Chain A
């Protein structure tokens, strides 16, 4: 006969396993329900679109006076109808986007676009719609041309969502500012308004689905509360961050970042077009950039005439390409752009990644020996190969299109500028005093640091941090500017919110800069 403790244990075990089974079953049922819900939303939204598009089409016939002239009252009615059809369409589109996101069906179509191209056209449109409400809207762009590798339509969707929100929640005589800032490895887009603002406790919630935190019960301003949730998903998928700062009654500032491909800056219109032509045909493209860092100075120190060197390097590229891929391979196209300023771009389609690596190695070997045989002295010739997307950003899934591979070969001392490495060390915020805390870093580069903080900072706030160099075993003090920030997902065990933030260093003290460079050097190999 079983003794009592054994029996109790047996009963307890059985009960536990039964409970586990029940929870599992419950979870399965819930999962199933959720899937059904998503599919239902998707199907319904699709079905809603057809009649709506017919209504819109018929409305247009009246509105454009195709069927005869309208009087003012009739036109007024039609304007209101059109406006409401647009509202409905907007909601359906958002529901469809959310269901696409939930089913993992949202696909991004990357291409290389210039930010001016992407935003320039919208300026007049948004200015006008702000003006209708008596709001002044202004765009502030950097002068330089900035190219980004994104899904242009989706990025536009994010920007227009933020601007439309700003217009919606700002009173007449208010101001809206749309600004683009070029940061170290990102570009940051900000939409600032002088609107009603958001309570601090509500800010973390606004990027959730079906959330509306407006304190005003103005029916016309209501939406489905999906816009920001979709915007967040789209920004996340691009490998960027989105965040907001706000003060009730004063206004709101929304920011988002997009990774910036330095390489893309070098592309002239023609090259950009040839990259996009391949992408449109869904042919993977390899882009290799060869850069002579600090070319003007480099030119002064070499004994070969610059134009000869430019020609020679072009020859080396050509020869290496033929040697590596075979001269008879007529199908492969190679574009070389010689920009006469120490920059060369190579574009060629569809090749295995290992082959490209091999080709880069061969190319850098050949260039190195070119410099050696020409006895170019007093020049620190180092060649580094940098590939995009950086390995660290790949972990989160297919953030980037597999269709564009970018590599950079640097010649010269500063080749590794801005390369970021994963780097976990302790960081102590020392200034401002009220923000003192100990944190942990995520990654670091010569120009900045990314770390996790329990406090949120204002964007562009100046702070100072101490951090520990793991290899050099020294602490350095860095002053910097908070350039981007994002609220991290909160796990059940977390008691408080945590923010991931990017700090761009202000010029470091000579000693600290050298220490940091040496430290990074130790990590590069």
Chain B
């Protein structure tokens, strides 16, 4: 069976490392990017099954990356999970406005994140 591929975009290298370990332990293929532009390029090139996206990113912020993917027919079907330290309601609203499918705050509860991923990938356990 082909492994599902998840792209994680976060500017904190160690956070990327933590998420990567977590997801790999659950048998996902993980791609990583450290800024918005790089993330967008990889997303367009590799068309991952799901994107986990931090809000505050250098070069291109998370909202812009989200909008660029969601408003592009070729990629709009890719589920996006917004990922941020700010638990403010305004952020959440804005996240959904630009088309994010889910919203998870950092530090995340591994079970919650994995549950969301499974749900969005249609892998009901």
Contact = CB atoms under 8 A, between A and B. Distances in A.
Interface of A: 49-50, 53-54, 56-58, 60-61, 64, 66-67, 109, 280, 282
19 contacts: A49-B85, A50-B15, A53-B85, A54-B12, A54-B14, A54-B18, A57-B15, A57-B18, A57-B106, A57-B107, A57-B108, A61-B18, A61-B22, A61-B25, A61-B110, A66-B22, A66-B25, A66-B110, A109-B89
B110 A53 contact: no
B21 A53 contact: no
B110 A64 contact: yes
Given A58-B14, A282-B93, 6 more contacts: A50-B15, A54-B12, A54-B14, A57-B22, A58-B17, A67-B25
Contacts of A56: 107
Contacts of B25: 61, 66-67
A67 B26 CA distance: 11
B107 A60 contact: yes
Contacts of A64: 110
Contacts of B21: 61, 66-67
Nearest to A64: B110
5 residue pairs, one from A and one from B, having the closest CB atoms = A57-B18, A53-B107, A56-B107, A66-B25, A54-B14
Contacts of B93: 280, 282
Given A49-B85, A61-B21, A61-B22, A54 B110 contact: no
Contacts, number: 41
Contacts of A57: 15, 18-19, 22, 106-108
Contacts of A58: 14, 17-18
Nearest to B11: A50
A57 B10 CA distance: 14
Given A61-B22, A66-B21, A53 B14 contact: no
Interface string B100-115: 0000001110100000
Which among A50, A109, A280, A282 has the highest number of chain B CB atoms within 10 Å? Answer: A50
Interface string B1-23: 00000000000101101110110
Contact of A60 (B15, B17, B89, B110): B110
Nearest to A68: B25
Contacts of B107: 53-54, 56-57, 60
A50 B108 contact: no
Contacts of A49: 85
Contacts of A50: 12, 15, 85
Contacts of B108: 57
A56 B14 CA distance: 11
A67 B21 CA distance: 8
A303 to B, nearest CB: 52
Interface string B64-99: 000000000000000000000100010001000000
Contacts of A60: 107, 110
B106 A53 contact: yes
A109 B17 CA distance: 35
A106 to B, nearest CB: 11
Contacts of A67: 21, 25
A64 B110 CA distance: 9
Contacts of A282: 93
Contacts of A53: 15, 85, 106-107
Interface in B1-53: 12, 14-15, 17-19, 21-22, 25
A51 to B, nearest CB: 8
Contacts of B14: 54, 58
A57 B83 CA distance: 13
| Residue in A50, A56, A57, A109 whose Cβ sees the most chain B Cβ within 10 Å | A57
Contacts of A61: 18, 21-22, 25, 110
Nearest to B18: A57
Which of B19, B22, B106, B107 neighbours the largest number of chain A CB atoms within 10 Å of its CB? B107
A54 to B, nearest CB: 5
Nearest to B88: A107
Contacts of B18: 54, 57-58, 61
A84 to B, nearest CB: 15
Contacts of B17: 58
A67 B22 CA distance: 9
A61 B17 CA distance: 11
A60 B85 CA distance: 17
A56 B107 CA distance: 7
A248 B89 CA distance: 42
A151 to B, nearest CB: 10
A49 B25 CA distance: 26
Nearest to B92: A280
A54 B85 contact: no
A49 B19 CA distance: 17
Contacts of B19: 57
A50 B12 CA distance: 9
Contacts of A280: 93
A142 B38 CA distance: 56
Nearest to A56: B107
Contacts of B15: 50, 53-54, 57
A170 to B, nearest CB: 29
B38 to A, nearest CB: 20
A278 B108 CA distance: 29
A53 B93 CA distance: 23
